[in-house]
């Protein structure tokens, strides 16, 4: 969510001195593309499951997610090398961590990018869907307190850590199979941009966080020897709808906005699922197009957890760039 004010077309975006700005952003995905219409057959084949009731349930879930395509790390080659990943109750967390390179991931990135060994690094683990915005908040503080610095925020997600064969005792696993995707996103953040070579698109004006009391089990993730398991409460969309307006009003008060017309803002909402987006749209009385970037990210990539804010931001960036290319009206 942000101010809808834009500089005139054809002119560079002006940033407030000292404020963190988003200077660049991009995304990347694994090679394995999954078409949602073929997911059920492939998933049950790979896990050697022939339960007709579970198959029907997953088919229904796939139709309600609005997801069309996803990219995943999991592949037939990985299952051939690690067949134990598709077997119930085997301790496989070590294999999953090795495949995902979760431990020490920032070192792999620094080496791959040829960064100096003295580059300062911050690693945020196991933060789920909130990891992307948490990284933005940390990057904003670093950039504003270290003038001249440029912060690379890199996010990555792989659902291989939670891949499991279907089980009637764990119906919530089917929701994960129908919704989650893998990928990576990156942003460069800095203050006082050099306009001759840098093009700031968004200013990170303020950041707030709000924890709802007694909600700690509504999104419940546990790491075990069999990988990670998530349980999402069925009332989660309603909880978000009941609290999103109060959160937005508080944020707007901090920013100094008095006009509560949310349609005057641009939105890059984490697309946790269609029900959540629908509830936000309804409660804030948003025009349907205001959440287009989030809905498109969900349709193209699934719920890619912490990197979805990057995907939605990329769609918003493209929209702004298209507007900049339009002929200026006299």
Q: Contacts by 101-109 with C-beta closer than 8 Å and gap 24+? A: 102/158, 102/161, 105/156, 106/154, 109/154
- Helix axis angle, 52-64 to 172-179, nearest 10°: 50
Q: Which two tokens stand for residue 247?
A: 């959160």
49, 62, 129, 311: which is the annotated catalytic residue? 129
Query: Is the separation of the CB atoms in 145 and 316 below 8 Å?
Result: no
Q: Is-catalytic flag, 311?
A: no
Three-class SS state of 87: coil
CB environment 76-109: b (16+ within 10 A), e (fewer): eebeeebeebbeeeeebeebbbebbebeeeeeeb
Choose among 294, 324, 322, 327: nearest CA to 308.
294
Q: Which helix (H) or strand (E) holds 222?
A: strand 219-224
CA gap 115, 117 in Å, rounded: 6
CA dihedral 2, 247, 142, 12 (to 10 degrees): 10
Indicate which residues carry an active-site annotation.
Answer: 129
């Amino acid at each position: 969510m942000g101010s809808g004010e834009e500089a005139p077309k054809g002119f560079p975006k002006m940033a407030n001195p000292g404020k963190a700005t988003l200077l660049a952003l991009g995304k990347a995905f694994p090679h394995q593309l999954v078409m949602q219409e073929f997911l059920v057959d492939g998933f049950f084949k790979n896990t050697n499951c022939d339960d007709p009731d579970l198959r029907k349930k997953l088919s229904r879930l796939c139709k309600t997610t609005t997801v069309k395509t996803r990219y995943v790390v999991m592949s037939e080659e990985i299952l051939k090398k690690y067949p134990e990943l598709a077997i119930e109750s085997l301790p496989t967390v070590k294999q999953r961590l090795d495949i995902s390179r979760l431990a020490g991931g920032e070192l792999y990135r620094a080496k791959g990018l040829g960064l100096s060994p003295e580059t300062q690094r911050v690693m945020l683990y196991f933060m789920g869907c909130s990891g992307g915005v948490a990284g933005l908040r940390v990057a904003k503080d670093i950039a504003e307190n270290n003038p001249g610095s440029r912060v690379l925020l890199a996010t990555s997600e792989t659902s291989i850590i939670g891949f499991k064969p279907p089980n009637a005792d764990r119906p919530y696993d089917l929701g994960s199979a129908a919704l989650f995707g893998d990928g990576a996103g990156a942003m460069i953040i800095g203050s006082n941009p050099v306009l001759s070579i840098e093009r700031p698109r968004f200013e990170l004006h303020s950041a707030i966080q709000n924890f709802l009391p007694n909600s700690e089990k509504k999104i419940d993730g546990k790491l075990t020897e069999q990988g990670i398991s998530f349980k999402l409460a069925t009332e989660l969309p309603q909880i978000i709808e009941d609290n999103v307006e109060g959160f937005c009003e508080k944020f707007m008060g901090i920013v100094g906005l008095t006009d509560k017309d949310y349609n005057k803002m641009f939105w890059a909402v984490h697309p946790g699922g269609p029900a959540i987006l629908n509830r936000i749209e309804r409660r804030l009385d948003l025009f349907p197009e205001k959440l287009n970037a989030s809905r498109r990210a969900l349709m193209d990539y699934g719920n890619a957890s912490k990197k979805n804010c990057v995907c939605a931001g990329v769609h918003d960036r493209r929209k702004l760039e298209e507007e900049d290319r339009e002929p200026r009206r006299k």
